[in-house]
Chains A and B, each alone.
Chain A
Amino acid sequence: MDARRFELVEIVVLSGKGGTGKTSLTAAFAHLSSNRVICDLDVDAPDLHLVLRPEKTKTEEFYSGHEARISAEKCNACGQCMEVCRFGAISEGIPCPTVNPLRCEGCKVCVELCPVRAIDFPEKHCGQWYVSKTRFGWMVHAQLFPGEENSGRLVALLRQKAKELAKKEGFDLILSDGSPGIGCPVISSLSGASLAVIVTEPTPSGHHDLERVTELCEHFRIPAGVIINKFDLNEDKTEQIESMCVKKGLHLLGRLPHDMAVTHAMVAGQTITEYQKHGISELVRQAWSNIEAAAMIRVA
């Protein structure tokens, strides 16, 4: 057995704009790849499990940050907390002011400045995370409770668990479904990744949002490649986007036509590559091979 140096490759599938097909494609790449841990980093609205149907082997509670809670017995209704809160989270109430948990930032200022120490500061139970088995192997995923702060901490935790699992199993690839946007959770999924695969569409929104997410990748010095999905909806725009990619040094990973088969596959609970062998699935397979080349994954 040859001793090869263990180097983990982490591929994050992003989109900038939501709804471009990122999750459907990540599911297909999960099917096409091997020796990998699959990770759903879209902890806000995770959808990958709908296709992969994970069986949970481990469930863990996720706590992050704190929130203020005013104790009615100790409060003297002086109202100082309402004045110091910068987030408009505390309002008049009977018998004492109340903290709106949706606005509370967990900054602790009211807790510290309360003259009678009437405010408690418990930890926030924000969500759950899971390690599961799927027909494609291990999956690490989570669900933030709706309304919670998506601080990126849960994303960082999932990535760390995925890395530990990959190391334990001797795998060299982590394949992650990322979140839309360019905020905290996306930043958290990008830093230190080997390759960002950005799925876009040939629309004004798709183009606009692609520019912002590629700017973010440049900011964090993460190599990136682009897949244009539903390219046939506007071929002029497709070409515009491809020229932009070439100019910016982004890998052109493929263009896929708009095909109802992708939705049919989703409804059937399958990846497009399981649902059919030909047509768009061939293009998806080609895109995956381009991704492997761009990330320089050694094929076992």
Chain B
Amino acid sequence: MEKIAISCVEPSLDADVDPRFGRAAGYLIVDPDSMEFEYLDNGGSQVLAQGAGIQAAEIVARSGARVVLTGFVGPKAFQALSAAGIKIGQGVENLTVKQAVERYKAGQVEMASQPNRKGHWS
């Protein structure tokens, strides 16, 4: 199964999903078959005056993940992820990373066709 990127508040499978894709603390890149993971920090985006979502999309695209699981994705990040061919699952913000992956594997995460958060100047 393809690698999944999940926005998270800490680098662990038991960490809470970080609801905001663009300004998340970091991303856990998980191999859903082995549950092995690596952590990518997103600290650099906190200082960006604008375009954090686009930068986050770049980070995820470079990681090789083909799926994103998160709470909210704004329109620019959505455009960027879609252009890169990355599938987007929204609305998993009240789960842990592990739970989000399990839900996805069970086919219970609705994949998005449009962003669920209106854009704003960040």
Contact = CB atoms under 8 A, between A and B. Distances in A.
Direct contact of A and B (CB under 8 A): yes
A187 B122 CA distance: 11
A191 B119 contact: yes
Interface in B16-39: 20, 23
How many interface residues does chain B have, given as a range? 10 to 19
B47 A188 contact: no
Contacts of B23: 160
Contacts of A191: 118-121
Nearest to B52: A153
Interface string B45-61: 00111100000000000
Contact of A188 (B20, B48, B117, B120): B120
Interface of A: 63-66, 106, 123, 149, 151-153, 155-157, 159-160, 184-185, 187-188, 191-192, 220
B117 A192 contact: yes
Given A152-B122, A192-B117, 9 more contacts: A64-B47, A64-B48, A66-B47, A151-B49, A153-B122, A156-B120, A160-B20, A185-B121, A192-B118
Nearest to A156: B122
Contacts of B47: 63-66, 123
Contacts of A65: 47-49
Contact of B49 (A64, A160, A187): A64
Interface of B: 20, 23, 47-50, 117-122
A153 B118 CA distance: 15
A85 to B, nearest CB: 19
Contacts of B48: 64-65, 153
A192 B121 contact: no
A68 to B, nearest CB: 15
A151 B50 contact: yes
A255 to B, nearest CB: 31
A159 B20 CA distance: 14
B73 to A, nearest CB: 13
27 contacts: A64-B48, A65-B47, A65-B49, A66-B47, A149-B49, A151-B49, A151-B121, A152-B50, A152-B120, A152-B122, A153-B121, A156-B121, A157-B122, A159-B120, A160-B20, A160-B23, A184-B121, A185-B121, A187-B120, A187-B121, A188-B121, A188-B122, A191-B119, A191-B121, A192-B117, A192-B118, A192-B120
A220 B120 CA distance: 10
A-B interface, 9 closest residue pairs, ranked by CB to CB distance from nearest: A152-B121, A188-B121, A156-B122, A192-B118, A191-B120, A65-B49, A151-B49, A64-B49, A191-B118
B94 to A, nearest CB: 12
